[in-house]
Amino acid sequence: MAQTKPLLRALAGETLPTPPIWMMRQAGRYLPEYRATRAEAGDFLSLCYNPDLATEVTLQPIRRYGFDGAILFADILLVPQALGADLWFVTGEGPRLSTITDSAGLAALRPAADIHETLGPIYQTLRNLSGALPPEVALIGFAGAPWTVATYMIAGRGTKDQGPAHALKSQDRATFEGLIDLVTDATIEYLSAQIDAGAEVVKLFDSWAGSLGAADFEAYALGPANRIIAALKERHPDTPVIAFPRGAGAAYEGFARATGADCVALDDGVSPEWAARHVQPDGCVQGNLASSHMVTGGDALVSETRRIVEALSGGPHIFNLGHGITPDADPDNVQRMIDAVRNDQEPASS
């Protein structure tokens, strides 16, 4: 069955006449059905850890839109929580964590192998989804990449410039690298368990990779991705991996070769024409419509969607946004995007 799924065919290197489609954050607040289920759960973490409700919100965009991929509903900060960090969400402001800023804080965290009891409900959600998805839809697991996860663990929250993580890297390199190593080990354990539970492809989100300078990018974005992917390939040689070093710019070129990733996801900071020349020769690419089009819609949405499809039509491509869909997006614009990829071959009006 796996080889008949369009998304897995693209990840295997096949150039398809119509690229498969899914969206980052496709289960989210822009959908009224998601908001209703979130209200039933009571809060965000309760939704993540309730397998029945997490299954439901994962399925909602599949029912509505017929995407080719369903991504597990969870959060990248569940791994720090499983390692022993305190995690909570502040309404309207986002996540908060207890901070790791010295060797004592690092030493107090759990070993990577001890995360699975906390994360058991996430694995159950995947098992639920394996039996509930349409046969043509691929099940995607995911985790945050070590650098991005570490930035939250060090600062205790999201920051605009990842300043606290950069400061710890400069002032206490041993603690910083120890944290990167621990999160890397935990990510291998987490993604491997997701695959055991039914994930057919996994994605590594390095949302803040773009804030790393060249040497640090190699050490803390490329290096951990290589280590994670190599370990996963040893355990699960047939499971493809998507890597997303957001903000990598020119460093997208060669990322697949250097890490072993089967696909590189692109943000909208690079053009699809550039990606076709510099990234796609190494394998599948994913992306990269600006998520703002899901808010503004109109002819620009249709024409830019077609431009991306055309530019990347010479090789394996998964259509997606360059970043997650935002809560203020119009659900109708998502359908317009899908129609522009799959069905609508007429030129956009000028």
Q: Which residues are catalytically annotated?
A: 25, 29, 38, 75, 152
CA torsion angle for 184, 189, 193, 194 (degrees, to 10)?
-10
State whether residue 268 is helix, strand or coil.
Answer: coil
Which stretches of 131-176 are assigned E, i.e. beta strand? 138-144
**Alpha-carbon distances of 256 from 197, 272, 338, rounded to whole Å:** 26, 17, 27
How does 112-121 read in b/e, with b if 16+ C-beta sit within 10 Å? beebeebbee
Handedness of CA 246, 249, 251, 252 (dihedral sign): positive
What are the structure tokens assigned to 208, written together?
A: 């803040």
Kindly state the tokens that stand for 340: 């522009």
Name residue 202's beta-bridge partners.
Answer: 141, 241
Distance, in Å, from the CA atom of 6 to the CA atom of 136, rounded to the nearest integer, reads 7
Closest residue by Cα to residue 225 from 251, 245, 252, 247: 245
Which residues share a beta bridge with 70? 139
Quick check: helix, strand or coil at residue 68? coil
Residue with tokens 């995407």: 67
Query: Residue 64: helix, strand or coil by DSSP?
Result: helix
Sign of CA dihedral 185, 187, 190, 191: negative
Q: What one-character DSSP code corresponds to residue 21?
A: B
Rounded CA separation 83/80 (Å): 5
Amino acid 264 reads V
CA dist., res. 264 & res. 253, Å (int)? 9
